[in-house]
Chain A
Amino acid sequence: MDTFSFLLQGLATAFEPIMLLYALIGVTLGTAVGVLPGIGPALTVALLLPVTYGLDAAGSLIMFAGIYYGGMYGGSTTSILLNTPGESASVITALEGNKMARAGRGGPALATAAIGSFVAGLIATLLLAFLAPHVVKLALVFGPREYFALMVLAFVTVSAAFGESAIKGLVSLFIGLALAMVGIDQLTGQTRLAFGVPQLLDGIEVTTLAVAMFALGEALFVAAQGPGNDGAVLAIKGRVKMTAQDWSRSWKAWLRGTGIGFPIGSMPAGGADIASFLSYATERNLTKHPEEFGKGAIEGVAGPEAANNAAAAGTLVPLLTLGLPTTATAAIMLAGFQQFGLQPGPLLFATAPDLVWGLIASLLVANVMLLVLNLPLIRFWILLLKIPQPWLYGGILVFATLGTLGVNPSPVELTMLVLFGTLGYLMRLYGYPIAPVVVGLILGPMAEQQLRRALSISQGDPMTLVQSPIAAVLLALAAVALILPMILRARGRGDVLAQVGQAED
């Protein structure tokens, strides 16, 4: 069967009423967390992992993907109206979007963000559907050494390639890798770093770490800045629609944003925030209205918003075909697959085609739902921004505790929640990125296993790691991604990288 018939079958799954319900819950929650500053899609999926344990696997995964897509839509609303990004991929949107809202053009800004997200999400999801089977074929020739090289590349791009400083990214990554070593070694059954605490034998739960770092760490950081940093929400003046001129200026930016976002998301080259930044830079160079940039140019909203949605869809390519997460949200979604005993990768397309294609098809459905939620119903979401901070964070923390209790209601787990939350606060305070810790925790044991398998096959000869052309190229790319930014920073060009590297979700 070809992709098209698989996709049709997937649509049949996606249109089952119960699946539609899961998708609707997902996109609604996703939009809500996207709109609310302080919680992002990564945290939300982490919180929902234990809750969905007893539910249907396909439905839960559809819900998670809906949250991811919804977060990308919702984030723009906060950026435009509050000048505080709702999630990290919308940092760039705030630049032009908030200026537009101040100039009374909030309606067109919201409209171009929502429609651009829709266009990009639709194209990128179709690209995902048609590209995935080819990547699966490629992945079948991958052995342990190629997987190891791919993971090394992902480690470097997540931690060191972007951001203020390579050393801080690497510190975060290696803290994650160190935490990943806790528990029983999967190849020999040897206990490592458990210090006689039985609860540590299972290793550190992804949910606990993600919830602690993203929810508690963020709450501590915001609280410690003291009172009075609440921004005022700008009212939407006029209707949420665009003029003919807005359309003609937006549609090229949407397509360019999609063209930039999808490849960046689908390669292990970082997440949506990098895509949206590059799209913004492109639009600023290509625009016919350079005088408007910095004062509210609609292309500066349309391009990045399309790019971050396309990148979110692109991220699903390595996640589904290789089992390789390249962002924190994807890493937690991988944990979601594993919770249901599913291992994403080439085999999943053979063993559970209904699930994979149902998931991809429901993303198309989710996109349509999100367009409806974000255009006609936009005024409803703005009400969320009026929740006072104390109630918002009080509620987030209670749910965070619930997530941890749901995984494992032991005092050890809760103590880890507090400890990692404090660590998350300190890391934020001193400018260390959070996402590499989570990615390191999840990918660390997988990378270690692939490394040891590759070396077992070669009877301990480390040269095997570079003797396959694919692995050698991937490792060379990883080296370039590590060294090139260091040279750029040393020559004083690091500010661009620092702006890009605010990866949280």
Chain B
Amino acid sequence: MTPNGASGRRPDGAAFIIALALIGLGALLIWDGARIPDKAGYSGVGPGDVPKLIGYVLVLLGIGTGIEGWRNPGPKRPKQHPVPLLWLLGGMVVMVASIHSIGFVLGATILFTCAAAAFGERRFHVAIPSGLVLGLFIYAVFDVLLQLNLPAGPIEMAIFGR
């Protein structure tokens, strides 16, 4: 994606955090694999052994990432804008938390509006009705016609009766 180069900060802090995360994930797999009773049978490889193996490799890869980050820091990453990220993630989280009580259509409206805002469309009087229409359209096609079971809320009850 971006060319290699020694232009990055030294030591590369991100590489160490990634390394720690990988070692943590590996340790989790090893711990869970070790917890499983040994039912290896004929093969000598039980249900816990492959997770343990993957865990060990992840720990090794974590150590490798750490060493790589020390010796050869990654390229300088482009500046990330936090506001659009917050809009988008916020929209996702609100939608996930509320969709089972407010229904698919309103959940989709919230997500659509927040996503549009994240990409620079802040005219909410345009975005909200558009999201509402899109949500209604998808619900009508996929729930009513294609029998996909989408969460229903007050709007769905009022319009589609279910």
Distance, CA A177 to CA B22, complexed state (A): 13
Check B81–A226 contact: CB distance below 8 A: yes
Report the number of A-B residue pairs with Cβ-Cβ less than 8 Å. Answer: 207
Supposing A174-B58, A460-B43, A495-B4 touch, asked if A395 and B112 sit within 8 A by C-beta, the answer is: yes
Bound-state CA distance A188–B87 (Å) is: 45
Q: Which of B50, B100, B111, B146 contacts A51 (CB 8 A)?
A: B146
Chain B residue with Cβ nearest A225: B78
**Which B residues touch A455, using CB under 8 A?**
42-45
Other-chain contact of A188, B46, B77, B93 (Cβ < 8 Å): B46
Interface membership of A139, Cβ < 8 A? no
Contact of A225 among B29, B64, B81, B148 (CB under 8 A): B81
Known A193-B32, A388-B121; judge A414-B88 contact (CB<8 A): no
Nearest chain A CB to B22's CB is how many angstroms away? 6
CA distance A395 to B117 in the complex (A): 13
Give the interface size class of chain A. 35 or more
B134, A398: Cβ atoms closer than 8 Å? yes
Task: Indicate if the CB atoms of A170 and B74 lie closer than 8 Å.
Answer: no
Query: Knowing A393-B115, A418-B93 touch, does A174 contact B61 (C-beta < 8 A)?
Result: yes
Q: Would you call B160 an interface residue if the criterion is a C-beta within 8 Å of the partner chain's C-beta atoms?
A: no
Q: Contact between B96 and A223 (Cβ–Cβ < 8 Å)?
A: no
Structural contact, B116 and A390, CB atoms closer than 8 A: yes
B138 adjacent to A402 (CB under 8 Å): yes
* A295 at interface, CB cutoff 8 A: no
- Docked pose: A94 CA to B37 CA in angstroms: 55
CB of B140 closer than 8 Å to a CB of A: no
Contact between A177 and B54, CB atoms less than 8 A apart: yes
Give B130-160 interface residues, CB cut-off 8 Å to A.
130-131, 134-135, 138, 142, 146-151
- Collect the chain B residues with CB atoms within 8 Å of residue A178's CB: 25, 29, 51, 54-55, 58
Given contacts A224-B81, A448-B50, contact A460 B42 (CB under 8 A): yes
B6 within 8 A of A: no
Given A394-B112, A398-B112, A409-B149: A451 touches B92 (CB 8 Å cut-off): no
Q: Which of A177, A227, A418, A453 contacts B92 (CB 8 A)?
A: A418
CB-CB contacts below 8 Å: A158-199 with B: 164-165, 167, 170-171, 174-175, 177-178, 181, 185, 187-188, 190, 192-193
Contact between chains at A167 and B64 (CB < 8 Å): yes
* Minimum distance in angstroms from A320 CB to a CB of chain B: 27
B32: contacting residue among A177, A192, A397, A448, CB under 8 A: A192
A55 closest partner in B (C-beta): B146
Q: Which chain A positions have C-beta within 8 A of B118?
A: 219, 223, 390, 393
Separation of A502 and B113 alpha carbons in the complex (Å)? 31
Q: Verify A418–B89 contact, CB threshold 8 A.
A: yes
Q: Is A216 an interface residue (CB 8 A)?
A: yes
Could you tell me the distance in whole angstroms from the C-beta of A214 to the nearest C-beta in chain B?
15
Secondary structure of the A contact surface, majority rule: helix
Main secondary structure of the interface of B (DSSP, over half): helix
The distance in angstroms between the C-alpha atoms of A487 and B47, with both chains bound, is 36
Beta-carbon nearest neighbor of A226 in chain B: B81
- Tell me the smallest distance from the CB of A44 to a CB of chain B, in Å: 15
Q: Contacts A409-B151, A422-B89, A448-B50; is A223 near B84 (CB within 8 Å)?
A: yes
Give the chain A neighbours of B50 by CB distance below 8 A. 181, 448, 451-452
Closest-by-CB residue of B relative to A50 is B148
| Minimal Cβ-Cβ distance residue in A for B25 | A178
Residues of chain A from 306 to 362 with CB closer than 8 A to chain B in the complex: none
Q: Given contacts A406-B150, A460-B43, could you give 14 more A-B pairs where the C-beta distance is less than 8 Å?
A: A54-B147, A164-B4, A171-B18, A177-B54, A190-B47, A220-B89, A223-B85, A223-B119, A398-B131, A401-B95, A406-B148, A409-B149, A430-B74, A452-B50
- Interface of A with B (CB < 8 Å)? 50-51, 54, 164-165, 167, 170-171, 174-175, 177-178, 181, 185, 187-188, 190, 192-193, 216, 219-220, 222-227, 388-391, 393-395, 397-399, 401-402, 405-406, 409, 411, 414-415, 417-418, 421-422, 425, 428-431, 448, 451-453, 455-456, 459-460, 494-495, 498, 502
Could you give 28 example pairs across A and B, Cβ below 8 Å?
A: A51-B146, A165-B68, A167-B61, A167-B68, A188-B47, A190-B36, A190-B39, A190-B47, A192-B47, A220-B85, A220-B88, A223-B119, A390-B116, A390-B127, A394-B111, A394-B112, A395-B112, A398-B112, A398-B135, A401-B108, A405-B99, A414-B96, A414-B99, A418-B89, A455-B43, A459-B44, A460-B44, A502-B1
